[in-house]
Amino acid sequence: MQELGKAESNSIRITRQDDQRVTIEKDLDTEHMVLSMGPQHPSTHGVLRLECITDGEVIVEAEPYLGYLHRCFEKHCEKIDYPAIVPYTDRMDYLAGMNSELAYCITVEKLLDIEIPRRVEFIRVITSELNRIASHLVAIGTYAIDLGAFTPFLFCFRDREHIMNLLEWISGARMLYNYIWIGGVAYDAPADFKKRVAEFVTYFRPKAVELYKLLTENEIFVKRTKGIGIMPADVAINFAWSGPMLRGSGVKWDLRRNDPYSVYPELDFDVPVPDGKFSDVGDCLSRHLVRALEMEESLKIIEQCLDKMPEQQGFDPRAVIPKKIRPKAGEVYGRAENPRGELGYYIVSDGKSTKPVRCKARSSCFVNLAAMKDLSKGQLLPDLVAIIGSIDIVLGEVDR
């Protein structure tokens, strides 16, 4: 073999083989590329922009940029009175309005130190758990379509429609409810509401099992999610993760169990965490499994509430709602377990005004998204879509 020439940079080598073939070899110098993903990208789940630095198809860093959907929630709260804030809470996590309302109302009720009627408490929990299932159905359906599976998306939205009809029947709205009020609820449950909810539980239980098997037994879905975006439990705790994200890392933490509120202490349900049989604990598949298994636990909670909820003729759900809400001076932090994790409100009252001096919302979506750099580093670019979908963000709550 004869070497014919060599470039001065030593990056190109031209050689001739014994059979007179000429071979040109080149050492390619690679450099990082900046790739902007969003805010119009179909897999960013809202107006989120990710600035990705890639080395080929390997992600070196993924920096999230927020603020495209800023709602000025906390500043609005300083200008309106306490009851008027409730509709604004719907518009943060707009897929779980009932849960957001509940978290805000129990926080204000701490300041007011009022006792909620028992029937109201069960109505609140039933509607919140129905909304939790509806939210998880959106999370699972859109996650499947992100990864190329269209059928689960149709199944999820078909079943979610039943829940939307129930919530519309009790509140008058399908998405932005303004139903859970400070001290009570806007309306009592309709006469046949318990019967219709029980029928839904019977209908949906086998559907939830079918949906679980449809994805967890799908080889392509498992290969796209297993071992991707692993978050160890200690790192998840240090990032202040909560909800399915934290439980997906194997930490059995649920505010309904660990810091209970409303009537949850009376209810029997499990807190699902991955056992490592189907997934690598802490990966994208683990977070999906937690949401899929939580729907069954919500059905258990709803069934128990239907059995325990007292029947009261001529019940007024607004009987204990104060005519003028002016809490005592002080500050309070209240929190609840939303479908995406801990939603907390920090409220400061001066004891004189009917408006809060400060109302700070602690968003689980914002906190969970903060770990995007750690989750995506070293992963392939196509896996970034799987990681974003597993976080299950709602940008209305991230930007709030």
Cis peptide bond N-terminal to 317, omega within 30: no
| pLDDT exceeds 90 at position 167 | yes
Whole-number Å distance between alpha carbons of 5 and 16: 10
Task: Please give the pLDDT value at position 254.
Answer: 94
Backbone angles phi, psi at 372, to 5 degrees: -60, -40
| Average of per-residue pLDDT across 19-23 | 50
Contacts of 313 (CB under 8 A, 6+ apart): none
Predicted pLDDT at 44: 66
Give the CATH fold of the 72-362 domain: Cytochrome-c3 Hydrogenase; chain B (1.10.645)
Ordered strands of the 22-26 beta sheet: 2-6, 12-16, 22-26
Domain range annotation of the chain: 1-30, 31-70+379-393, 72-362
Q: List pLDDT tens digits, range 29-84.
A: 667 888 888 776 665 677 888 888 988 888 888 888 888 888 889 999 999 999 99
- pLDDT bin (cut points 50, 70, 90) of residue 6 is very low
Residue linked to tokens 């029980």: 198
The residue written with tokens 């009720």 in the block is 109
CA-angle at 77, arms to 73 and 82, nearest 5°: 130
**pLDDT for residue 389 is more than 50:** yes
Q: Between 181 and 10, whose confidence is greater? A: 181
**Structural contact between residues 369 and 341, judged by C-beta atoms closer than 8 angstroms:** no
Residue 17 has what pLDDT? 53
Strands (DSSP E) contained in 98-178 are none
CB distance 363 to 265 below 8 Å: no
- At residue 163 the predicted structure's pLDDT band, cuts being 50, 70 and 90, is very high
Tell me, what's the pLDDT at 100?
Answer: 95
User: What is the rounded average pLDDT of the residues 246-270?
Assistant: 94
pLDDT of residue 4: 39
Residue range 303-327: mean pLDDT, rounded:
85
Phi, psi of 335 (to 5 degrees): -145, 160
Give the neighbor-by-neighbor strand order of the sheet with 341-349. 330-338, 341-349, 358-362
pTM of the model: 0.89
Residue with tokens 């896996």: 383
CA dihedral 397→108→317→264, nearest 10 degrees, is: 70
Give residue 8's pLDDT band: very low, low, confident or very high (50, 70, 90). very low
- Please write down the HEC assignment for all residues of 199-215: HHHHHHHHHHHHHHHHH
pLDDT at 320: 81
Contact 105, 112 (CB under 8 A): no
pLDDT tens digit sequence for 328-378 = 899 999 999 999 999 999 999 998 899 999 999 999 999 999 888 888 888
